[in-house]
Structure 1
Amino acid sequence: MPSIGNGHIAANVFGDTVYMNGLYNGHKGESHRARIPNWANIRLNSTLTRHPFSPVYSLNTKEGVFKVRVDRERSIVTQMIYAHRYYTRALINQIKVDSKTHNDPSFIHHEIWVAISLMPGPDSKDVAFQNPVPEIINGRTIWSSCGQTWESEDTTYQPMPVDVCAYWTSVPDHLVVPQHGSRIFTFAMTADKNRTVAKEELIKVLQEDGEKLYEKHVEEWQKLYLEGGIKIEGNLKLAKIVHGIWYYFLSSLPSAKSYQPLDRFYGLSPTGLATGGTFEDYEGHNFWDTETWMFPSILLLYPRYAKTLIQYRLDTAYVAAELAKLTGHKGYRFPWESAYTGVEVTQPCCPLVAEFQQHISGCISFATRQYLATTRDEEWLKQGGCAIVTHIADFWASRAIINYTTGLYDIENVMGPDEDHSNVSNSVFTNVVAGYSLYLAQYVSCLCKDYFMAKDPDHWADIAWSLALPYDEALDYHPQFEGYPRGEEIKQADAVLLGFPLQYKMNVSTRANDLSYYESVTRSDGPAMTWSMHTIGHLQLQDNVKAAELFNKSYQSYVREPFKVWSELQRPDIGAMNFFTGMGGFLQTLIFGYAGISIHLDRLEINWPQLPPEATRFKVKGIKYLGSNLILDIQTSRMKLIVTEVDDNWPLVMNNGRYNVTLVPGMSVTLTGTGPFTIRSKPWKECKLPADIIGNNYLRPIGL
């Protein structure tokens, strides 16, 4: 079943559990999302037992609502289940009963009864809720229960457990409606860390007219879809999957506008906000998945959410500083898994990933690079951006050790994205993201020089330039790490990530060899996002047939019908469900693969834009670049870029393949050929772009 959510509160439809942003229970490696009983889980009895009236289930992603429709003999019953997008503490259940017209006189004086059940599930083992207390508010019976999580994640950073309060409406065992007419019944549950907020929210919800309450929710969802989206024509199955992904993403991200102030946001985990109570669902933790797999597509269409995701890292940076110090290093070392406090919360079962997968800090830096490239957000730099970039660079500088035999810097004792190989030296992925982090710090220190002092920024670039980068000249490919035994199986995309998303310059032949070789040794039961990156690679090599094959492989075995819920692995009975990481990788195949968009520090490029398989039209709407708003419209016979908004501070010029065009609102530019079509603005200060060359011993003819 699908999930409902609004960034503050979420649940799976018909599930007995509610999860809330920032609510965790358990000490360090036992930390997981804290379960709240679902006092909004109302079921029509006709959906619980064998019944002559078959319910019809539907998920309306445009309006953010799950619907149950039961066509009965004397009435049509429609249940609407949603997490309110404006009243963000509330889960709503509305049941509309429409009577049918009957000629049978025996029905005239009979009422319509609809049996329902409240199914909140067992008591929570994560929150010590007190016994529910009833009270009468505006003529309705309201129940409430408050409590605290049982255990703090880390007493140094969280001295006390977290408070939480829930309020909910009393639910009868049946609804009664006159034979003629219709009626809407509204039931709600609210939850918050603050009792007053939860109570006031429920009171306000119940004061609203039922239809107006729903309209306010839909209005906020409609605003989201006006901001951006992906439209596909000619391939309905693909279009529905894409709409489903954006629905699930947005359901776990905070509302732009809410009745009461929003709580601090605690990140986007691999299975979103509606799950996270178990190890299989990643316990609601934050990994590299956020920055590497979900962040890029969100950044291009919803940059304010991208900023929110980076803010979570800024909020926990002081904890990352302590982790670096504890492990004998400088700067910021972000933990492999983090939750409420920002401390390492990887399960005790898996100490190797916590110890060795340090590339997450580089991935966070790479996300900030992309954010700065598309926004040039000076305020963000002043309010922590300069510090996080330079301190991550300090961490990598302290991790890089000079090898006097080679004259290069080694980074030892790491694990790349491939978790089947731990404690290796010079992981190609790790070294490139580390090198990029070092180069970015040099660049940012120039951007920030008026208000942030960095000591010897060129030192970072010197280390990056001299980092070791494994490369087999005879076979013209990148061994995954130093000493990698060729032919040995790997879990998932690792070295191929150099080509994308890192866009590391290399020979076309090297890129082709990396893709071909690693496809042959990747485990068949690996996670979904691997094949998304292979798809983009083959599109960049202009091998459309192979790209289409891997594009289909990247989603067809992972999407579960009918509500487009993604599983982590091809087998639906193992791995995480509603796997945002796989969804994020798939979105990138469309935006950065088929649409051909690429982000660079000084430009936005469009290369080889084309239609996805079986599509007749492909539109990426709401591309945000330096304050502008763009639409890329790809059709069978033509392509065009439509400009809806441009920021006067960052005027844009586009080279359309033949000449330069100044972009102005209302303009439509026809794109002929395959590109690259380059969009630039004026330089950002007088700061030299980073060299981004890692390992100065690498033989480099003309790159991709």
Structure 2
Amino acid sequence: MPRKTQNYAEICLVIVTSLCLFATAEIGEYVIKSEQLPPDLNFMPTLGNGHMGYTVFGDAIYMNGVYNGEGGNSRRARIPNWLNLSVATIQYEEWELHIVPDMFELQLQEGYFRWLFAYEANGLQLQLEQRTYPHRYYNRALIYELFVHCNGAIDPLLIKLTQKPGKASEAFDFSTLGKTNGRGGGYKMLRGVTRQLEQPDFQTEPRKIFVAFSDDWVNEHTIELGAGQDDFYYRFVITADESEEIARREMTAVMKLTPEELFQKHAFEWRTFWQDFNIQIDGNVELSHIVNAGIFYLANSLPSLNTSQTNGAYFGLSPTGIGRGQLDADYEGHNFWDTEIWMLPAITQFSTSWSEQLLQYRFQHLPGARYNARRTGYRGARFPWESAYTGTEVTNPCCPEIAAQEIHISPDIVLALQHYYVITHSKEWLCRVAWPIAKEVAEFLVGRVHDDGQQYHLEGVMGPDEDHSNVTDSVYTNVVVKQSLEFASFARSMCASADNHSDIWLDVARRIRILYDEKLDYHPQHVGYQRGETVKQADVILLGYPIQYAMSNVTRLNDLHNYEVVTRESGPAMSWSMFAINYLDVKDIDKASLYFQRGYKDYVRPEFKVWSENKNGFPGSANFLTGIGGFLQTIINGFAGIRFQLVGNQSVMVIQKTYCLPTSKGFTLNGIKFAQSKFSLEIRRNGTTTLRCVEKGGLNIELLVNSQKYAVDNSFSITLNGNTATLRTI
């Protein structure tokens, strides 16, 4: 058999080039290459655009908000992955070449995955590029492209494509609708109807989707490249929507475009995103790859902000993203506290529009939360532990105790509302969205507590540590209840006329029991907790960060020392990320560096920097966005020292002591969002930290450093020299 060339640098495909927007960043920081695929294809990149998503070479496509199954059996409805195409063989003269790609590449800056093949023998030079991506502007469209470049062929080449969509869908009944006019004699169209309703009181009809195909073939397709023909391009497109008209219209628009026009409209949206937010790390390309890939995997599950067709409602961000969700390992595509506590703090820095849409999901599902409260004997709104299409409880039938006891998700959501309000300082949004949610959650919480005449208690609950169930006075749960009631009272003062509710709310907030052992100066996890008992994941230590509950550094350090030795080795990545941030706050830099690296090194698969829920050797979810969210917080809120607080009526951004990331020369956060403005924060190994305003918004803000006040405008820049800086609304 003739040899394959190994000179990848000489591959000259018909490739659309891209502009580098970052003068100070190497393009290599945004390109991840591998000569092999991961042994477990679950750890292939998951690609999405907020409307649809899929895992490369996987057997499933999923669509935003489309679920099938009743109650706890509801899960994302699997569409066969008809886009899973690849060149299998090339026939030339008497040879049949079986295509084994030379290189696989994930391009983060422009949002696509490609695989390359080069062949050279007896005067024939052949290069293939295959590329796949969910289009970011035409976001009802999924794209597969094949580029062929050939020199020296004296006979035709027959290129055989194979399609591996997986087995028939378990969720849909599909029927053919016929074709509409278009290139190649029309577009094949299918209608899919889900088989089961999630909750009949809230969903009266099955979900319907419409899928259009640019070409009508199944399993195999042969393309002929004529003798002497140098270049060839082939495109296979799927469009899908709940509206037949939109699916057809999107297909027509896409197929009118040249290859360069199609790709550039997609790449422009990704380049715009990276221009608005990025983290530049100096001196560590491997860490840059992990950070940039993490940002990419989070962002590509979120809705395109600029689209050809208007987006509908967004149905939330599940722990493994929009491109996964049928399997139990993918948490069935449900929404948890993961969104609000672990992912939203980083996502808000990507784009406040994305956070607004995530919180809008909770607002739109208040009816389901009210139903959940009534069904369990309470008033107000009780958000379910797991939520999908209807907003009612859809926790897996395996674990009813979790749904019954992890009531902390409702105050977690309220604290996320507070976080978003502090960053945007939008009173209009506060009164339109945050106040209605906070009010009804507060009503649920004051009905859920028990008053013994001196203190309020919460019985029969479960904190983040799911190894301990049916406990009394989970310290994490009680603290987030306290803080959410205080924010509800604040929102009432800003948005509503006087009533007696806030008095009750504040009374519970003042008198709820917060466990504290004075002798040992630490917080027991719950009543009856014995020091040394193993816990599943970060629980009590969350009080310091992200909850920002007031305590002395000595108490906080004691909490860290008590719980670091009992947290399960098999626990999820974000536990170690929270240890890192909290150790930074108590100025134990060595421990913080240790936990920072522990929080990602054993969880990221090497080929394409895809995250696993648990470290290598333990089973867990793939594309674990929750772990990515916790990891990014270690950079933004840990080493960069950024905190957001509500102080009276003011929104405040504090920049505490900053630290250089381990194994780097420094790093820069570009696009920090606060009070309608954007900032950059540059942190160097020599201790220098520089804050710059890169875009001044409409709100007046000032900076306070060492009692010195500075007005902030577009030209503002300051070197902090280790001092705490406080930005606040005026």
Please give the range of the TM-score, normalised by the shorter of the 2 chains. over 0.9
Instruction: Select 2:562's aligned residue among 504, 512, 517.
Output: 517
Determine the structure 2 residue equivalent to 1:372. 421
Determine the structure 2 residue equivalent to 1:251. 300
Preserved contact between residue 660 and residue 685 of structure 2 (Cα < 8 Å): yes
- Per the TM alignment, residue 592 of structure 1 is displaced from its structure 2 partner at its CA by 0.4
Count of aligned residue pairs for this structure pair: 669
Instruction: Select 1:159's aligned residue among 201, 204, 209.
Output: 204
Query: Is 2:82 the counterpart of 1:82?
Result: no
Determine the structure 1 residue equivalent to 2:366. 317
Structure 1 residues 585-596: aligned runs within 5 Å: 585-596=630-641
- Per the TM alignment, residue 31 of structure 1 is displaced from its structure 2 partner at its CA by 0.2
In 1, Cα distance between the equivalents of 2:477 and 2:262?
A: 49
Determine the structure 1 residue equivalent to 2:696. 646
Query: Is 2:650 the counterpart of 1:599?
Result: no
Structure 2 letter corresponding to 1:13: V
Structure 1 letter corresponding to 2:364: D
- Per the TM alignment, residue 136 of structure 1 is displaced from its structure 2 partner at its CA by 5.4
**Cα distance change, pair 34–223 in 1 and its aligned pair in 2 (3 A):** same
Determine the structure 1 residue equivalent to 2:31. none
Any idea what SS the aligned residue of 2:115 has? strand
Instruction: Select 2:113's aligned residue among 59, 66, 69.
Output: 66
Any idea what SS the aligned residue of 1:80 has? strand
In 2, Cα distance between the equivalents of 1:456 and 1:415?
A: 27
Query: Is 2:148 the counterpart of 1:97?
Result: yes
In 2, Cα distance between the equivalents of 1:136 and 1:386?
A: 50
Determine the structure 2 residue equivalent to 1:174. 222
Determine the structure 1 residue equivalent to 2:503. 458
Any idea what SS the aligned residue of 1:598 has? strand
Instruction: Select 1:280's aligned residue among 329, 332, 343.
Output: 329
Instruction: Select 1:661's aligned residue among 691, 710, 727.
Output: 710
Preserved contact between residue 531 and residue 562 of structure 2 (Cα < 8 Å): no
In 2, Cα distance between the equivalents of 1:52 and 1:283?
A: 35
Deviates more, 1:246-255 or 1:635-644: 635-644
In 1, Cα distance between the equivalents of 2:661 and 2:379?
A: 46
Determine the structure 2 residue equivalent to 1:556. 601
In 1, Cα distance between the equivalents of 2:721 and 2:632?
A: 25
Preserved contact between residue 280 and residue 288 of structure 2 (Cα < 8 Å): yes
Q: Deviations over 1:110-141 (max 9, x none)?
A: 23332211222211110011257456523345
Gaps of 5+ in 2: 1-43, 91-95
In 1, Cα distance between the equivalents of 2:457 and 2:572?
A: 29
Structure 1 residues 14-33: aligned runs within 5 Å: 14-33=57-76
**Cα distance change, pair 176–573 in 1 and its aligned pair in 2 (3 A):** farther
Preserved contact between residue 371 and residue 392 of structure 2 (Cα < 8 Å): no
**Cα distance change, pair 453–65 in 1 and its aligned pair in 2 (3 A):** farther
Preserved contact between residue 360 and residue 433 of structure 2 (Cα < 8 Å): no
Any idea what SS the aligned residue of 1:45 has? strand
Q: Deviations over 1:154-188 (max 9, x none)?
A: 01000111101111122562223343432321110
Any idea what SS the aligned residue of 1:535 has? helix
After TM superposition, the runs of 4+ consecutive aligned structure 1 residues lying more than 6 A away are none
In 2, Cα distance between the equivalents of 1:653 and 1:145?
A: 57
In 2, Cα distance between the equivalents of 1:52 and 1:89?
A: 30
**Cα distance change, pair 572–140 in 1 and its aligned pair in 2 (3 A):** farther
Instruction: Select 2:590's aligned residue among 545, 555, 568.
Output: 545
Determine the structure 2 residue equivalent to 1:681. 729
Query: Is 2:490 the counterpart of 1:439?
Result: no
In 1, Cα distance between the equivalents of 2:59 and 2:603?
A: 25
Structure 1 residues 161-310: aligned runs within 5 Å: 161-170=206-215, 171=217, 173-178=221-226, 179-310=228-359
In 2, Cα distance between the equivalents of 1:252 and 1:199?
A: 23
- Per the TM alignment, residue 53 of structure 1 is displaced from its structure 2 partner at its CA by 5.4
Determine the structure 1 residue equivalent to 2:48. 5
Query: Is 2:578 the counterpart of 1:530?
Result: no
Query: Is 2:536 the counterpart of 1:491?
Result: yes
Any idea what SS the aligned residue of 2:86 has? strand
In 1, Cα distance between the equivalents of 2:150 and 2:260?
A: 18
Structure 1 residues 557-596: aligned runs within 5 Å: 557-571=602-616, 574-596=619-641
In 1, Cα distance between the equivalents of 2:185 and 2:110?
A: 28
Q: Deviations over 1:496-526 (max 9, x none)?
A: 1000100101111110010111011111111
Preserved contact between residue 646 and residue 652 of structure 1 (Cα < 8 Å): no
Gaps of 5+ in 1: 683-704
Q: Deviations over 1:354-407 (max 9, x none)?
A: 100000001000000101111112221332321111111111111121113xx1
In 2, Cα distance between the equivalents of 1:240 and 1:539?
A: 24
Preserved contact between residue 657 and residue 672 of structure 1 (Cα < 8 Å): no
Determine the structure 2 residue equivalent to 1:701. none
Instruction: Select 1:414's aligned residue among 458, 461, 484.
Output: 461
In 1, Cα distance between the equivalents of 2:62 and 2:565?
A: 40
In 2, Cα distance between the equivalents of 1:300 and 1:138?
A: 42
Structure 1 residues 471-482: aligned runs within 5 Å: 471-482=516-527
In 2, Cα distance between the equivalents of 1:645 and 1:327?
A: 48
Preserved contact between residue 233 and residue 616 of structure 1 (Cα < 8 Å): yes
In 1, Cα distance between the equivalents of 2:598 and 2:282?
A: 20
Preserved contact between residue 144 and residue 237 of structure 2 (Cα < 8 Å): yes
Instruction: Select 1:427's aligned residue among 469, 474, 489.
Output: 474
Q: Deviations over 1:451-510 (max 9, x none)?
A: x66544232112101000111111111000111122111100001100010010111111
Preserved contact between residue 269 and residue 284 of structure 1 (Cα < 8 Å): yes
In 1, Cα distance between the equivalents of 2:656 and 2:192?
A: 55
Structure 1 residues 27-42: aligned runs within 5 Å: 27-42=70-85
Preserved contact between residue 146 and residue 163 of structure 1 (Cα < 8 Å): yes
Determine the structure 2 residue equivalent to 1:689. none
Q: Deviations over 1:414-469 (max 9, x none)?
A: 100000111111101000110011100111111113xx665442321121010001
Preserved contact between residue 88 and residue 99 of structure 2 (Cα < 8 Å): no
Deviates more, 1:581-590 or 1:371-380: 371-380
**Cα distance change, pair 573–425 in 1 and its aligned pair in 2 (3 A):** closer
In 1, Cα distance between the equivalents of 2:88 and 2:356?
A: 44
In 1, Cα distance between the equivalents of 2:100 and 2:195?
A: 44
**Cα distance change, pair 46–485 in 1 and its aligned pair in 2 (3 A):** farther
In 2, Cα distance between the equivalents of 1:203 and 1:594?
A: 48
- Per the TM alignment, residue 38 of structure 1 is displaced from its structure 2 partner at its CA by 1.2
Any idea what SS the aligned residue of 2:669 has? strand
Deviates more, 1:663-672 or 1:464-473: 663-672
Preserved contact between residue 655 and residue 678 of structure 1 (Cα < 8 Å): yes
Determine the structure 1 residue equivalent to 2:397. 348
In 2, Cα distance between the equivalents of 1:235 and 1:138?
A: 48
Question: What root-mean-square deviation, in Å, do the aligned CA atoms of Structure 1 and Structure 2 show?
Answer: 1.7
Which TM-score applies when normalising by structure 1?
A: 0.93
Any idea what SS the aligned residue of 2:172 has? coil
Any idea what SS the aligned residue of 1:542 has? coil
Structure 1 letter corresponding to 2:385: W
Preserved contact between residue 541 and residue 559 of structure 2 (Cα < 8 Å): yes
Identity %: 39
In 1, Cα distance between the equivalents of 2:419 and 2:99?
A: 55
**Cα distance change, pair 237–140 in 1 and its aligned pair in 2 (3 A):** farther
In 1, Cα distance between the equivalents of 2:173 and 2:617?
A: 34
Structure 1 letter corresponding to 2:690: K
Preserved contact between residue 279 and residue 670 of structure 2 (Cα < 8 Å): yes
Query: Is 2:408 the counterpart of 1:398?
Result: no
Q: Deviations over 1:559-602 (max 9, x none)?
A: 01211110011135611111011111000000000000001013
Instruction: Select 2:167's aligned residue among 119, 122, 129.
Output: 122
**Cα distance change, pair 215–497 in 1 and its aligned pair in 2 (3 A):** same
In 2, Cα distance between the equivalents of 1:17 and 1:160?
A: 23
